[in-house]
Amino acid sequence: MIEANFGWDEGFQRLNLARTCLEHRTTVYSLVSPFDGFSIIKEADDALILFLLCVDPQAQHQKIGTTAIEQMKREAAETGRRLTGTVLPGNDVGSFYTGLGFNIRFDQSGKRVLLYNA
């Protein structure tokens, strides 16, 4: 999907992901294997911004993503911030997020923006 929508440059993608992981809070999830998924959170004064949530297809449906989102929601509530993020075009996860209490809106560029109202 990413390649079809944006093109792909492996070197750029690796460098960009490594830089992003270092600049923001990255959490690795291990349930089935040592590396079942990860999340990257950007922190702002008024929000926790879900930058990326990935779960290995072989580890999906084990509640890894749900548990990660529930923890993010608790942290946002405890710190008085909102939880928000963006869904990439072509990524069909809307029902996952709406099932966890998110509202999905489209921004001016057509990206799906997640908004959780605690």
Distance in angstroms (rounded) separating the CA atoms of residues 60 and 69: 14
Phi (first) and psi of residue 90, to 5 degrees:
85, -5
Average pLDDT over residues 14-22: 66
Asked if residue 78 has pLDDT above 90, the reply is yes
User: What Cα–Cα distance (Å) separates residue 30 from each residue in 35, 53, 71, 117?
Assistant: 5, 14, 15, 28
Closest CA to 37 of 14, 54, 13, 50: 54
Q: Of all residues in the chain, what percent carry a pLDDT higher than 90? A: 25
pTM (global) more than 0.85: no
